[in-house]
Structure 1
Amino acid sequence: MEVSWDIFLLIAGCSVVTILPRVVPLVLLSRIALPEPLLRWLSHIPIAVMAALVGQELIQMDGGFQLSDHLDLAAGILTFAVALKTRNLLWTVVMGCVFAMVLRLLVNG
């Protein structure tokens, strides 16, 4: 299998454009001590990103409400309870996947 130079340069360019915005801030910020209020604020970013990714999907409704059409919402509510109880992102994600799988198996047979 032969790779043309155009494709190789495209992949290399995309790699550079993807890596630079991640590596440059990491290298620059690792060399300085950040103030405690900023570190506290930054600690909320993973939860905010997770909420942004999941929230839209959970509350999107087309027409009437039937639980069988919104199993993700039911799994999301159960997952939110786990998040409140454990305050652990790993357990929240794992249990959310388990809740979604079990509810789909129960409802769809």
Structure 2
Amino acid sequence: MSDLALFATLAGAGLATFLIRLSFIAGERWLPRGDGLRAVLGYVPAAVLAALIAPELLVRDGTLYLAGDNLRLWAGLAAIGVALATRSVMATLAAGMAALWLLQWAAG
């Protein structure tokens, strides 16, 4: 890929992202404002986070990987347990990373 093609691709992706975000700001007056929309939008952060994290926990080399030696899955389950128990983002992140490091250390 040439430098010009790379620059055009990055500029196009940046412009598309900008326009998508701008559409919600500039077009606010046309969006519905009911309690239903507000309730649905409350689930967006959790859905985005799950979409980002699930492939890291469940997929290896392009296939579903649920074997017992999947250390990321075990660390993710530990983090989910801490999240349910504490409802603390920092505790969840710390527990997940600590579990992953300990599992990797124990596995050698």
TM-score bucket of the superposed structures, by smaller chain: 0.5 to 0.7
Runs of 4+ aligned residues of structure 1 deviating over 6 Å after TM superposition are 30-33
CA RMSD for the aligned pairs? 3.1
Q: Would you say how many aligned residue pairs link Structure 1 and Structure 2?
A: 100
Q: Which has the larger radius of gyration?
A: 1
The unaligned stretches of length 5 or more in structure 1 are none
Map 1:21-60 → 2, pairs under 5 A: 21-29=20-28, 34-59=33-58, 60=64
**What displacement does 1:48 show?**
1.5
Shift in Å, 1:58: 2.7
Identical residues among aligned pairs (%): 28
Structure 1 letter corresponding to 2:65:
M
TM-score after normalising by structure 2:
0.65
Letter in structure 2 aligned against 1:105: W
* Separation in structure 2 between the aligned mates of residue 30 and residue 101 of structure 1, nearest angstrom: 48
- Measured at CA, do residues 100 and 31 of structure 1 come closer, stay the same or move farther in structure 2, by a change above 3 Å? farther
More displaced stretch, 31-40 vs 83-92:
31-40
Alpha-carbon deviation of 1:50? 1.9
1:16-73 superposed Cα distances (whole Å, 9 cap, x missing partner): 22211122213433897832232122111111222223234434327xx34xx31111
